[in-house]
Amino acid sequence: MSSIASLLFRKFLLSYVRIIPQSTTPATCAMEQKDPTPENMTMMQGFEWYVPADQKHWRRLKEQIPNLKSWGIDNIWIPPGCKGSGKEANGYDVYDLYDLGEFDQKGTVATKWGSKDELLDLCNTATKTGVGIYWDAVLNHRFAADHKEKCQAVEVDPDDRNKRISDPYEIQAWVGFDFSGRGDKYSKQKYHWYHFSGVDFNAENNKTAIYNIVGDKSHGWAEVPDVDDENGNYDYLMGADLDYSHPEVEADVLAWSDWLAQSIPLKGVRFDAIKHFSAKFVQKFVKQLDEKYGKGWFFVGEFWKDSLEDMKKYLDHMDHQFSLFDVPLVYSFSEISQAGSADIRKVFEGSLVQCRPTNAVPHQALEVPISDWFKPLAYALILLRGEGYPCVWYGDLYGIQGEHVCPPSCGGKLAQLMLARKLYAYGRQADYFDHETCLGWVRYGTHDRPFGLAVVLSNAGPGTKRMHVGEMHQGEKWSDVLGWSEGEVTIGEDGFGDFTCGQCSVSVWVNEGALDRSPFERRGFVDTLTFPPSSFSNSHIYG
């Protein structure tokens, strides 16, 4: 071997030994035989409530697929793609499950988000890019009925739905669904009063109340625990409440799930408002898709209740082949963010991710206010730790439209936090939860993703943590990929470093020589999303 070749080989060998955490016993060749460490998975809610109602959202989202993939997004939960009550309907007021923007119904062909062809184009592009699509299934109720029907009903106490506060009497309810714009294409099923268990409006006298539909063909409310026991029985939420004990309802919606899976390339389903309709039906829905299309689908439910015990009971009922959004954690984020110098060590107490991490989807939600300054801390807590399958919100990444326009959250650094998860948040985790207002943790990396990271965050004054990142990193210089803490930290011979963060802030420290550090050095992440002139900008720059 020539002297030059020998020198190059020695440099390669030294570099290899330095970046691969070495064991005291196994040989390097044994390490090479280890299975590759799978890339961290991250989900994104691909919309926010006030996205412009210009029927262009599917196209905008399609344009962003390459960026989102490069930042670490593996799956996108898209908004409800079924026809709602009108052109500006978000789809949670669902009218026709089988109309994905194909038929002239409710004053429009396309949905708020776009046409069926554009939806298919988005899903096909995502699939080719390696990004999965999760469907938002709104199965609890229907809105925008085509005509009224007479039926018998009783009024019930809003705080105790099992308590009748009237005798049965005849009402006129908006419960007739003909789907005349679609006809019998895809499904011949029409809906009438006996397919529903309740409504909240009597067109006979224009009275608003909660009406439980009764009669020879009616089955009443679903029973607890098939639905949640809040308000005595929380079967009724809004609109015309579907009765899944009726065989025609069950058969039609199960047929729809099969039709949807064959029509659109999907990887999973997000169930809206699952505590309000039959858990037994959800089991059948999941089982059917698993048996027909394989167990690679992901299923997650919105069980909006700040009760860990109730969430655990639901998961037990579903045999754990299911996930739930971590609502208790969202409330914890909210309370800490608005309480000043709260004890942040308790942030995960009572959360789903703490006790059932494999079933937990930690996230942030518009429904619960979280102070802007705390959002980077919250995202660090859900993205850079080992537990849970985190979900990033579109409004935090791209900003919020509507009457109260807001720019992207996290000071424009959310994409960097996502990328840090994708590149460095691997391996064993060591927590430094030893101060009321300042936390830290270390991810040590793995045999093939060896760089690791160190995180420090504070919900009060500036913070410092002396943390062990490993002797294999001695002499390395680490810096904050977010750029919020200046300077470098040199790792000592003992593998320790003194890591800092600013006041009410977070810093993510990584070896300056780590693979793929260059994207963090860019001035910003630029996207090509465009909105009407009333929006705060025509392009949003992160960083």
Long-range contact set of residues 220-223: C-beta below 8 Å, sequence gap at least 24: 221/161, 221/162, 221/197, 222/197, 222/277, 222/278
Cβ 335 vs Cβ 459: under 8 Å: no
Which token pair is 33? 């035989």
Identify the three-state secondary structure at position 432. Answer: strand
Contact 99/178 with Cβ under 8 angstroms? no
Active-site annotation holds for 272: yes
**Which of these is catalytic: 136, 241, 302, 527?**
302
The CA distance from 182 to 177, in Å, is 11
Count Cβ neighbours within 10 Å for each residue of 183-203 and write b for 16 or more, e otherwise: eeebbebebbbbbbbbbbbbe
Residue type present at position 432? Y
Dihedral of CA atoms 187, 192, 198, 203 in degrees, nearest 10, equals: 130
Q: Residue 15 has which token pair?
A: 């570099």
Give the active site residue among 99, 102, 228, 272.
272
- How far from 4 is each of 8, 9, 11, CA to CA, in Å? 6, 9, 11
Cα 24 to the center of its chain, rounded Å? 41
Structure tokens at 381: 């807590």
Active site residue 155: no
Handedness of CA 378, 324, 316, 309 (dihedral sign): positive
Which active-site residues does the annotation give? 272, 302
